[in-house]
């Protein structure tokens, strides 16, 4: 089984290509801005006779879903899967709740299939398991890859040094805390966040999750308010910018 992270470009989410002996899928698509390049990047990882069977989305948000239709069409209309809470937004091309309007972009409407929490996508010598991880959005999903002990978490952990926002349409701070605790309890050896490098090593993963949870619990104790020193997020940001800065990686690996 092979798992490759395609680093997000600009506002794009990371995309993860998972290939097994009996299938290939892509987790998250990125924005529509670089969709043609995204197709070429994916094709560059595959053999000529290898097809992408499906696209799994961690969220309806534009950085995760904007390129989904284009990538699907490039691979013979492979199916796109999202939590039921996100289906209507994608199928109607709603550029408000997807946040495409924040990026001055349209949201390409596309047909989707429901991704059910607990659903398993078998790939022969491996599998991908769907987890419901709301908090930034009620449709938030994560995808656990047991063979790698890895979770692709989407918006609930934007980057190692960037805690998630909950003041978005459908966001909920208690749900966000509960989702991160669920991830922590699985004790993964690696996490692929929304953007930025993968977080690797059980010790480092637990440290990052504890730092994020500590911040979020502190905000919950303050009735959902962020420390004033952190400033106001940019219009397109799905995270808070830490002040003082949090480390992106362990010092010895920088």
Instruction: List the domain boundaries for the chain.
Output: 2-253
CATH of domain 2-253: 3.60.15.10
Segment 152-203, tens digit of pLDDT: 999 999 999 999 999 988 999 999 999 999 999 999 999 999 999 999 999 9
Residue 254: pLDDT band (50, 70, 90) is very low
Look at residue 94 in the predicted model and tell me its pLDDT: 95
* 3-class SS letters over the chain: CEEEEECCCCCCCCEEEEEECCEEEEECCCCCCCHHHHHHHHHCCCCCCCCCCEEECCCCCHHHHCCHHHHHHHCCCCEEEECHHHHHHHHCCCCCCCCHHHHCCCCCCCCCEECCCCCEEECCCCEEEEEECCCCCCCCEEEEEHHHCEEEEECCCCECCECECCCCCCCCHHHHHHHHHHHHHCCCCEEEECCCCCEECHHHHHHHHHHHHHHHHHHHHCCCCCCHHHCCCCCCCCECCCCCCCCCCCHHHC
Look at residue 42 in the predicted model and tell me its pLDDT: 97
pLDDT at 252 over 60: no
Look at residue 169 in the predicted model and tell me its pLDDT: 85
């Amino acid at each position: 089984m092979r798992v490759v992270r395609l680093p997000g470009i600009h506002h794009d989410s990371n995309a993860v290509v998972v290939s097994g002996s009996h299938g290939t899928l892509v987790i998250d698509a990125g924005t529509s801005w670089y969709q043609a390049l995204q197709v070429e990047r994916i094709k560059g990882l595959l053999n000529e006779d290898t097809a992408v069977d499906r696209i799994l989305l961690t969220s309806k948000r534009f950085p995760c879903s904007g390129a989904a239709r284009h990538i699907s069409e490039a691979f013979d209309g492979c199916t796109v899967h999202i939590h039921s809470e996100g289906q209507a937004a994608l199928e109607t091309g709603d550029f408000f709740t997807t946040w495409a309007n924040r990026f001055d972009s349209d949201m390409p409407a596309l047909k989707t299939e429901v991704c059910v929490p607990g659903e398993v996508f078998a790939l022969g010598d491996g599998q991908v398991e769907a987890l419901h991880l709301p908090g930034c959005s009620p449709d938030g999903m994560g995808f656990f890859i047991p063979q790698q002990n890895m979770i692709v978490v989407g918006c609930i952990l934007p980057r190692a040094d960037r805690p998630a926002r909950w003041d978005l349409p459908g966001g909920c701070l208690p749900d966000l805390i509960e989702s991160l605790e669920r991830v922590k309890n699985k004790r993964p050896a690696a996490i692929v966040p929304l953007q930025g490098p993968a977080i690797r090593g059980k010790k480092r993963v637990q440290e990052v999750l504890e730092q994020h949870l500590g911040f979020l619990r502190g905000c919950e104790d303050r009735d959902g308010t962020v420390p004033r020193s952190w400033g106001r997020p940019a219009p397109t940001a799905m995270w808070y910018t830490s002040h003082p800065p949090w480390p992106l990686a362990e010092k010895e690996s920088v």
